[in-house]
Amino acid sequence: MLLSRLRQHFDRLSVTLLRLTTIQCYDRAIVLNPQFTRAFYNRGNAKLEQNDTSDACADWLAAKALGHPSAAAMIQQYCGK
């Protein structure tokens, strides 16, 4: 649900945001709010889609540390931890 709202928001602002990639948008969200658990989790998912498992795992570890309920499952499945 949140991801859907973020995507809609970013679609409307794509010209203003200079067509930043999804990952860059999450980067920006995290800079603005370093406690934005869902941004870490969703950025990890986006990195996985780009076959960047190492960075995805780092984001899921951050999301887990911030209390995201699904991060542990992703870490277990993709990060070997």
2-78, superfamily in CATH? Answer: Tetratricopeptide repeat domain (1.25.40.10)
Spatial separation of the C-alpha atoms in residues 19 and 14, rounded to whole Å: 5
Spatial separation of the C-alpha atoms in residues 5 and 80, rounded to whole Å: 31
Q: How confident is the model over 34-65, as pLDDT tens digits?
A: 999 999 999 999 899 888 999 999 999 999 99
Residues in the chain, total: 81
Residue 11 predicted with pLDDT over 70: no
DSSP 22: H
pLDDT of 12 reads: 66
Spatial separation of the C-alpha atoms in residues 78 and 53, rounded to whole Å: 7
